[in-house]
Amino acid sequence: MRTIEWDDDRDCIVMVDQTKLPGEYTTYHAETIPQLVESIRRLRVRGAPALGAAGAFGVALAARRNEAATFDDYADAVAADAESVANARPTAVNLSREVETVLSELRACTSIPEARERTLAAATDVADADVERNERLGGNGAALLSDGETVMTHCNAGALATVDWGTALGVVYSAQEAGKEISVIANETRPLNQGSRITTVELQQRDVDVTLIPDNASGLCMQEGMVDAVVVGADRIVLDGGERFGDQGVVFNKIGTYKQAVMADRHGVPFVVAAPHSTVDTERSADEVEIEERDPDELREIYGTRNAPEGTAVYNPAFDPTPMELVDYLVTETGVYEPPLDRTTFEAAERTPA
Amino acid sequence: MRTIEWDDDRDCIVMVDQTKLPGEYTTYHAETIPQLVESIRRLRVRGAPALGAAGAFGVALAARRNEAATFDDYADAVAADAESVANARPTAVNLSREVETVLSELRACTSIPEARERTLAAATDVADADVERNERLGGNGAALLSDGETVMTHCNAGALATVDWGTALGVVYSAQEAGKEISVIANETRPLNQGSRITTVELQQRDVDVTLIPDNASGLCMQEGMVDAVVVGADRIVLDGGERFGDQGVVFNKIGTYKQAVMADRHGVPFVVAAPHSTVDTERSADEVEIEERDPDELREIYGTRNAPEGTAVYNPAFDPTPMELVDYLVTETGVYEPPLDRTTFEAAERTPA
């Protein structure tokens, strides 16, 4: 199944419950808006593209479950539900963007039955578009990999971060589909361990050979010649590096990505960023991107067991910036780009539907 | 108290029980050889210099508890006990070396009472010598730090890895003693989390300001200008880099050290290795140093909770090699050396008691 989709039988949302990984691979049905909001907050579903689909299906869920007597009351109630979904995680731009996509479809309707049908169709389109985009992206990136190579990846930019196929791991799946045997070294990705908890699971499900390492071992792996390419996703890419990085663009991705990029550079290993075009922010400079600091208890405790003395001071940034000078290839659904990015070409590609 | 010492009242070994950290700071009394062996195996006491003292006191414990009727039987029994202590962790060279130091003292004795006394005196000398050596080392290294600076460290090369004072952290304590205010950024140090479990505890006990970070955040910290020096310990230093590193020496230390050194180099942050002279192996080349691979379950589980699917392939090397070109200063009890190391000077210093 997909990471998140519509269950026609139960007329509700069904998702892989990622809070249960790696212990159990189970699904969770969100039949109400509060259940969906709680699922987003608790990270049952995570990853920017998957959250976009969650938002889209959320509006459809509200539209199909609401029993208001008049269309006006109905539309108001669905909009209120939509807002609570959009705000479940305020930093994920895809979530609110796709809530709005489906809500604008509802605004064009004139009856409740029509709205019930069209919102679900629109949400399904959002989900399908994500999968198609990732498959195109994967196909573009696969050309960079040769049979028998080993890819190192950081965090989880795979099927479980998207509706399906994934971005960084989509490149691996597309290469595999093209008949190339690719192995993966998965960094554990402290402090939330998405590499060990999620990336291993989805690679094993797709019969990709995967070896888990502590983040600390990635330098040694490169020294030992075990890595042919590093492929990671991106949370946001800016083309203007601001004060710290100047002219060059910057990739914001899971904390530790910068260290991987520096190690890859030192060892002559290609460093590949795989992300949809929508990740590229052509407006903002790196200076304007705030790096989210997460709960200190993510370090002080692990799985509920004390890992550092109570009250220990912690610095726990979720992302770090990698300057484009360290990026060899940027792979999107429109092609493979070699930084420094030519802003004009890149923006033109963005406007052209691939 | 020291990490490990002799308890005169109970006539046995007492140690800080490091398996209880960071939850509890408690002591464990080893009153029998099996208790001591189990303590070493379970890492109640760890760190090469601390294990040396454990071995030394172990022979004293055997000598003081054995009740054989004749001196010959007694000496044989103590030697057998000593062997079981020396083999408790076969890779720690200090352990077997200091067992031998005290055992040779026993061989010079002619009566049981004399042996009981002289073995304990010899073991105490081993422990005292470690503390004195670390204090000299710390004093030498402290000159590299200025008031108000922040040191990043990896793993635990502190008081709790030695009998007292520590090596890398000894440099910080000596700087503090000299009136300089030094802050520390402690890397968590996956997979065994010595940074979060042990380094934080001992720094807090000595009123040193410490901030814990995930290993993944160390690059960002340097990018943000938060780090004035990286100071780490060493498990083994070789002067001959072998095939991979050629002419230059190599520092073997806890996995992840190499990445820290590369990041420090990129950001112009001094990278300091603090280790006693006995760590320098002038015989072997880097090619002859085997990197210990540890249990895959250290990654598959954390504190007993599943962290990756059962049976997931894991690469879990305990150490990595850092070439001397990345080391700015090597601090020992005899002085501060700037690599590349002049073998003649360095070996001469080693032969000169400091």
- Asked if the C-beta of A196 comes within 8 angstroms of chain B's C-beta atoms, the answer is yes
Residues of chain B with pLDDT below 50 are: 354
pLDDT, tens only, B112-129 = 999 999 999 999 999 999
- Nearest chain B residue to A196 by CA distance is B308
What's residue B254's pLDDT? Answer: 94
CB-based contact (8 Å) between B214 and chain A? yes
Which of A227, A259, A326 would you mutate first to test chain B, the one with the most B CBs within 10 A? A259
Query: How many Å lie between the alpha carbon of A280 and the closest alpha carbon of chain B?
Result: 21
Give the mean model confidence (pLDDT) for residues A127-148: 98
Q: Does A264 touch chain B (CB under 8 A)?
A: no
Note the pLDDT tens digit of each residue in A200-257: 999 999 999 999 999 999 999 999 999 999 999 998 899 999 999 998 999 999 999 9
Judge if pTM exceeds 0.90: yes
Taking CB atoms and an 8 Å cutoff, what residues of chain B touch A150? Answer: none
Catalytic residue ranges of A: 235
Domains and CATH numbers, chain A: 4-134 (1.20.120.420), 140-350 (3.40.50.10470)
Contact of A304 with chain B, judged by CB distance below 8 Å, is answered with: yes
Q: What is the pLDDT of residue B193?
A: 96
Mean pLDDT, residues A179-205 = 97
Q: How confident is the model over B91-118, as pLDDT tens digits? A: 667 899 899 999 999 999 999 999 999 9
Contacts of A193 in chain B (CB under 8 A): 302, 307
Instruction: Determine which of A19, A153, A216 to mutate to test the interface with B (most B C-beta atoms within 10 Å).
Output: A216
pLDDT at A354 over 70: no
State yes or no: pLDDT of A91 exceeds 90.
no
pLDDT number for residue B283: 84
pLDDT exceeds cutoff 50 at A168 = yes
Q: Is A297 on the interface with B (CB under 8 A)?
A: no
Nearest residue in B to A265, CA atom = B262
ipTM: 0.92
| Residue bearing the bigger pLDDT, A231 or A278 | A231
What is the rounded average pLDDT of the residues A17-46?
Answer: 95
- CB within 8 Å: A256 and B215: yes
Is some CB atom of chain B closer than 8 A to the CB atom of A22?
yes
Give the residue on B whose Cα is nearest the Cα of A210: B313
User: Which residues from chain B sit within 8 angstroms of residue A189, using beta carbons?
Assistant: 216
HEC string of chain B equals CCCEEEECCCCEEEEECHHHCCCCCCEEEECCHHHHHHHHHCCCCCCHHHHHHHHHHHHHHHHHHCCCCCHHHHHHHHHHHHHHHHCCCCCCHHHHHHHHHHHHHHHCCCCHHHHHHHHHHHHHHHHHHHHHHHHHHHHHHHCCCCCCCEEEECCCCCHHHCCCCCCHHHHHHHHHHCCCCCEEEEECCCCCCHHHHHHHHHHHHCCCCEEEECHHHHHHHHHCCCCCEEEECCCEEEEECHHHHCCCCEEEEECCHHHHHHHHHHCCCCEEEECCHHHEEEEEEHHHCCCCECCCHHHHEECCEECCCCCCEECCECEEEEEHHHCCEEEECCEEECCCCCHHHHHHHHHCCC
> Is the predicted pLDDT of residue A353 greater than 60, yes or no?
no
pLDDT band, residue A350 (cuts 50/70/90): low
Which chain B residues are within 8 Å of A218, Cβ to Cβ?
259
Annotated active-site positions of B, please?
A: 235
Average pLDDT value for chain A: 94
Task: From chain B, pick out residues whose CB is under 8 angstroms from the CB of A266.
Answer: 262
Residue-wise pLDDT tens digits, A111-121: 999 999 999 99
Question: What integer pLDDT is reported at residue B317 of this predicted model?
Answer: 95
A236 touches chain B (CB under 8 A): no
Residues A282-340: tens digit of each pLDDT:
888 999 988 889 899 999 999 999 999 999 999 999 999 999 999 999 999 999 999 98
Contact B255 A214 (CB under 8 A): yes
Find the closest chain B residue to A191 by CA distance.
B214
Percent of residues, chain A, with pLDDT higher than 90: 87
Q: Nearest Cβ partner of A22 from B197, B211, B306?
A: B306
